[in-house]
Each structure stands twice: as C-alpha cells, then as structure tokens.
Structure 1
Amino acid sequence: MAINKPLKWLITGGCGFIGTSLIKNLVEEGRHHIRVLDNLTVGTRDDLSCVCDFTETNSTDDKAKLIVGDIKDYATCQNAAKGMDVIVHLAANTGVGPSVEDPEADMKNNVIGTFNMLEAARHNNVKRFIFASSGAPAGECEPPIHEELPPHPVSPYGASKLAGEGYCSAYYKTFGVETIALRFGNVYGPGSGHKNSVVAKFIKKAMAGEILEIYGDGTQTRDFIYIDDLIHAIKAAQTTPGIGGEIFQIATNKETTVKEMVDILIPPLNKAGIADIQIEHGEKQVGDVMRNFSDTSKARDILNWTTRYDLSRGLQETIQWFI
C-alpha cells in the first residue's frame, strides 16, 4: 500500500521489531522523512541501522533522525513531535508477564507515556496519531473479539492499553487529534530477534537446543499475524480518511491453539536441521486469557485491508530469517 505524498513520520519505539519493519517499508517506498524516539531498552542503534541511515544530530540531509529519550518525559515528547505529520506510537511495556511482575512500570510506560505523546500531538498540531493497542483490553470473553465488546481486562497490561485507547478517544473528541487505535494480534516475523513472544521465543530456544515450555496444556488460542500484514494495516490507518477516534482489530480472524502453532513450527525447523526438539508443559501464566482471536471485518470494510500470509508461510519466512 503506497502513500501518495511524502510525510513526516515520528515513530516511537522505532528501534524495535514493528518500528524497524515499518521504517524499512517507508524507506523502500521513498520520499518520507522519518524521526525515531526510542530509549534503546529493547531495540538498538544497530537494529535501526539495518533498515535506514540515520543521524542523532540535526541534519538537513535525507537521513532518518534518532532521538534517544523516554516517552515518560513530557519535554522529550514535545520536542520529538515538532513539525511531524503523523505519530505512530509503538513504544510501550509489552506483554502480560512483565505487567504482572511490575504493574507500576507498566502503567508509567503505557498510560503516562501515551498521554505525553498525545499531548505532544495536540500542542504540535500533528494531524494523525496511530496507537498500537492489543486484544488485551477485551479480557476473558467469548471470541472473536470485536471493537464493540465491553472491555474487561484481566492483566495490568490490558488495563494500561485500555487507558491508552480511552485517552485516544478523548483527544479526538475534545482536541481533534485524529487518533486511530489498532489492536494488534500476536505479531511475528523477520526482525523479531528481541521479542519474547511465543513464536520468537520458541524459535530461539529450538535453535539453542533448549526445551520449549508451553504454559498450561497448550489449548489456549491466539491470533498470529505476520509482520508484513501488520505494516500494511498501519499504512492503511494513515491513508484512510474520516476514521478519527476509531478502533480496529488487526489480526487474521483465525483461532490457533499454541499447540497447533508448535505443530506447524516444528517441521520447517526440522527441515532446517534443528532436530530433537523437546517440549514440556508448565503452569498456566497468571493474567493470561484462554481464548483470543479477532473479528477483522471492520478493518476489511473501512480500511480495505486483509491479510496475505497464512501461518505456515509466515512461520517458514520467520525461521529462515532467524537462521
């Protein structure tokens, strides 16, 4: 999905998995001005340098600019947003586990950080604000998850993402910032070396000869979305007019158990020479939901967006990247 005119993009968390994937796509498209705000706790300068040339000084050339800073700092956010057309807010504390271990840190990153970025958009007249959310605000419910379900988050992570969605809605209704919240499914794909989500973690453990631990009996379900499909959704959220204040489920509309995912994952690992993969079952993770997949019909109808990768093809591409 090409964007017709060059834009000035601020991408928070731009050194991470989704951020670098988006930047790679924008660089290949050409013409865009890219600014990255990242505290480098997960992604690194090396990760960013793999997808673009960048500078950390004020420069008039075509290089992307990296601002090393934290979204919890109000002034940093204001400075980063100056002159931008669109903010893609990816920086966040991610995952249920870390939010259970340290709910205060999760809240500060995901609630205060999102508030600061929305304030930066408001005061700098940034037209569009794309917020990376999750299915976690919906909580334990009968799937498929859709945008009109009343939210009942199970984990602190789900609560913090719900707060972000609430602030996005308020900043559209009150201040006119065109916010769009995208509820990402379980994202996987090339570039996910730093991620600790189930696909990336299992591939890394298999390559290291370590045991793959499935929480519980493996019947918990997820909606696994390939990174290229997700990037197309972000770009569709930028180009589609008249969607301020909206929420979209961005996933595949397919329910897959963790055990089924592992069954699809192991044969291409074996084919790549990674054999004798051991699996064991551990305790169910606190705050985890048992069933999770999305109804993506709203994104299909309004964003004109659908996925192109099935799980088998996506996992093969991901394994090849890790190898």
Structure 2
Amino acid sequence: MKVLITGASGFIGGRLLDAAIAKWGSTHVVAFSSQTTSKCQSVVYDKQLPDFGLSQQDFDKLQEVEIVIHAGAYTPKNGAEANVIAACNENISFTEKLLSLPFNALRKIVFTSTLDVYAADTVISEATATVPATLYGWSKLYCEQMISVFARERHIDRHILRVGHVYGPGEEKYEKFLPKTIKRILDAQPVELYGDGAELRSFIYIDDVVRSILAAVELNEDVGVVNLVGGHAVSIRSVLDQLILLSGAQVEVVQREFNGTKRDFVFDTTRLKKYLLPEEIDFTLGLSTEIAYFKSLM
C-alpha cells in the first residue's frame, strides 16, 4: 500500500507524516508538499502551475498511490482570516486539481474538513445542519462535496473527518485561546478573561487527531461523516485556571466586559468513539505536554 499525504508541512500534516512513516514505513508514504522532505518520497508542487508543475517522474509516483489523505488546506490563523476570498477559494481550486491527477490505483480518500461547516446548535452532531458562517467553512464544505462526487463516480471509498479545535505542540502557529494564553502565562504577563468565562469549549489533542486519521485509512465501513473533536466540554474559566496551576506561575487575571453573543461548543462524539478513537488523551496531560513544549521554546 502507498499513501499520499497533502499538507505534510502543516500542524496536523507534519505529525501525520511522521506517524504514517512509523506505521507503514518510508517507502510506503509520499509527501505531497510545496517543499521536499528527506523523511520519505516526496512530490513537490507549485500550485500556480497547470498540473501543479509536476514532472513525469512525479506522475509515475502517483500511479502507485492507493490512499490519499487530503490534510492540506488554507486554515485561518484567526477569525479575521476566515473570510479572505482568494485564500478560501484556493481550498477549492487545490482540491479540484488534486482530484484531476492520475491516481490510477486509488481506492480511498480521507479528507480532513472542519467543524466550521455547522450551524449553531446546543450539541453539535453529524446530523446538525451545515450552514457555515464563513467563506472558509463554505470552501471546506464544497470540497467535501467534490470529494464525495469524485469517490462515487470512481467507485472508491471516502471518509470525511470534520476536525475541531486541535491543541498540542505546534499550535503556536495559530492565534487561538490556548497558545496565546500559555505564552502570556509563561511570560508572566496578565491574561484577559472576557465575561465570566462560563462558555464551554471542546479540545482534542494533536496525537488523537493523527491516530483517528490513520484509523480512517483502515476503516472498511461507510460510516458517513465523523466529527473529529474532543468529547469533553470545559469552561474557558476552568481551562484558564488549569493552565495557571500547571504552569506554576503567578499570573494576574484581568476581567473584561464581554458584549458579544455567548456560545457553547459541545459535540456528540459517539461516532468518533465507535469507529476511530475509543479513548482520548487526558486533557490535563495534554495541557501539561503543551506547556512543557512552550517552555522548551523560551
């Protein structure tokens, strides 16, 4: 079996590439990336060129690929980037070009989508309506549909994994609550809490995401979309208190007024537990690992 992974230099893709090589061996993994790697075979592309500017040698490598894990995408680093038109459109055009490549031995596609495709709901499950609030969410939903149509026409399998808030080493690339707060705590700077912090959030550790994606490769059932997200919802205030406790730092918490709409993010992970991830990494252990990682960067 030969597996091709897109986004191999990204937060999830980088860890996924290492795990795939450890599981199947470097000769069975191909990194499809804008930069080469010495870890395994690689196909280096230029997304601005027709057919990604690939050579005949690259096409020969693609002929043997049986599994595509499409983890590469434009992912907003903050809320303001979620409606960048050109960048979001790239998700669609990249996926279209990827599906046009000569994968003559292809039998399965695993696609990492996003929970941003959903409308607001008390508890979000795979049955929740898909009404994205951003162009990023719409771009990923459209890619889901393209891949589903492609798989149906080619009579191959496909698994759609809608990924939630992933935390862990490498998350510092994103301007999100956990990395921003950890940085401020370790720098002995005051941290801000908007409102009472009672809103609920769900986090999933990077290694659990990788394990779930690899499990999807070996899943032989058509189980429909799977939400790849933490099943334990915690309040923002409790996460903040836990980060301060685990860091051992003395940090001032500055209370700020919050005038926006409060929203909990709670998920039904029944399908995830049944098919891909029976047990998650303990949240406290995951936070401790991430704090230790941030300390190593100082």
TM value normalised by structure 2: 0.83
SS in 2 for 1:223: strand
Query: What is the aligned counterpart of 2:250 among 266, 275, 286?
Result: 275
Query: What is the aligned counterpart of 1:118 among 91, 94, 99?
Result: 99
After TM superposition, list the pairs within 5 Å mapping 1:1-323 onto structure 2: 7-32=1-26, 33-39=28-34, 54-55=37-38, 63-71=39-47, 73=49, 75-76=51-52, 79=58, 81-95=62-76, 97-108=79-90, 110-120=91-101, 123-143=103-123, 145-213=124-192, 218-243=197-222, 246-270=224-248, 274-279=249-254, 281=256, 290-301=263-274, 303-323=275-295
| Residues 139 and 158 in structure 1, CA contact (< 8 A), matched pair in contact too | no
| Residues 200 and 236 in structure 2, CA contact (< 8 A), matched pair in contact too | yes
Task: Supply the distance in 2 between the matched residues of 1:103 and 1:212 (Cα, whole angstroms).
Answer: 32
Which AA in structure 1 matches 2:99? L
| Residues 119 and 128 in structure 2, CA contact (< 8 A), matched pair in contact too | no
Task: Supply the distance in 1 between the matched residues of 2:256 and 2:181 (Cα, whole angstroms).
Answer: 13
| Residues 17 and 31 in structure 2, CA contact (< 8 A), matched pair in contact too | no
SS in 2 for 1:183: strand
CA RMSD of aligned residues (A): 2.9
May I ask how many residue pairs the two structures share in their alignment? 288
Which AA in structure 1 matches 2:68? I
| Residues 185 and 293 in structure 1, CA contact (< 8 A), matched pair in contact too | no
Q: Give identity over the alignment, percent.
A: 25
Q: Which runs of 5+ in 1 are unaligned?
A: 1-6, 46-53, 56-62
Task: Supply the distance in 2 between the matched residues of 1:177 and 1:77 (Cα, whole angstroms).
Answer: 26
* CA pair 179-16 structure 1, distance change in 2 beyond 3 A: same
* CA pair 221-72 structure 1, distance change in 2 beyond 3 A: farther
Structure 1 range deviating more: 76-85 or 173-182: 76-85
What is the CA deviation profile of residues 68-125 of structure 1, one whole-angstrom value per residue up to 9, with x for unaligned ones? 43556551287474422211111112136244451331222x22222222333x7444
| Residues 7 and 70 in structure 2, CA contact (< 8 A), matched pair in contact too | yes
Which AA in structure 2 matches 1:292? F
Q: CA deviation at 1:217?
A: 5.7
Q: CA deviation at 1:28?
A: 2.9
Structure 1 range deviating more: 218-227 or 177-186: 218-227
| Residues 201 and 264 in structure 2, CA contact (< 8 A), matched pair in contact too | yes
* CA pair 71-88 structure 1, distance change in 2 beyond 3 A: farther
* CA pair 142-127 structure 1, distance change in 2 beyond 3 A: same
Q: Which runs of 5+ in 2 are unaligned?
A: none
Q: CA deviation at 1:299?
A: 2.4
SS in 2 for 1:321: helix
TM value normalised by structure 1: 0.77
Task: Supply the distance in 2 between the matched residues of 1:157 and 1:216 (Cα, whole angstroms).
Answer: 27
What is the CA deviation profile of residues 113-155 of structure 1, one whole-angstrom value per residue up to 9, with x for unaligned ones? 22222333x7444221111111111122222x11122211112
SS in 1 for 2:72: coil
Task: Supply the distance in 2 between the matched residues of 1:8 and 1:278 (Cα, whole angstroms).
Answer: 50
| Residues 168 and 180 in structure 1, CA contact (< 8 A), matched pair in contact too | no
Task: Supply the distance in 2 between the matched residues of 1:149 and 1:294 (Cα, whole angstroms).
Answer: 10
Structure 1 range deviating more: 71-80 or 153-162: 71-80
Q: CA deviation at 1:259?
A: 2.6
Task: Supply the distance in 2 between the matched residues of 1:258 and 1:39 (Cα, whole angstroms).
Answer: 37
| Residues 72 and 116 in structure 1, CA contact (< 8 A), matched pair in contact too | no
Task: Supply the distance in 1 between the matched residues of 2:43 and 2:259 (Cα, whole angstroms).
Answer: 39
| Residues 69 and 109 in structure 2, CA contact (< 8 A), matched pair in contact too | yes
Which AA in structure 2 matches 1:276? V
| Residues 110 and 159 in structure 2, CA contact (< 8 A), matched pair in contact too | yes
Task: Supply the distance in 1 between the matched residues of 2:87 and 2:262 (Cα, whole angstroms).
Answer: 21
* CA pair 16-266 structure 1, distance change in 2 beyond 3 A: same
| Residues 13 and 37 in structure 1, CA contact (< 8 A), matched pair in contact too | yes
SS in 2 for 1:253: coil
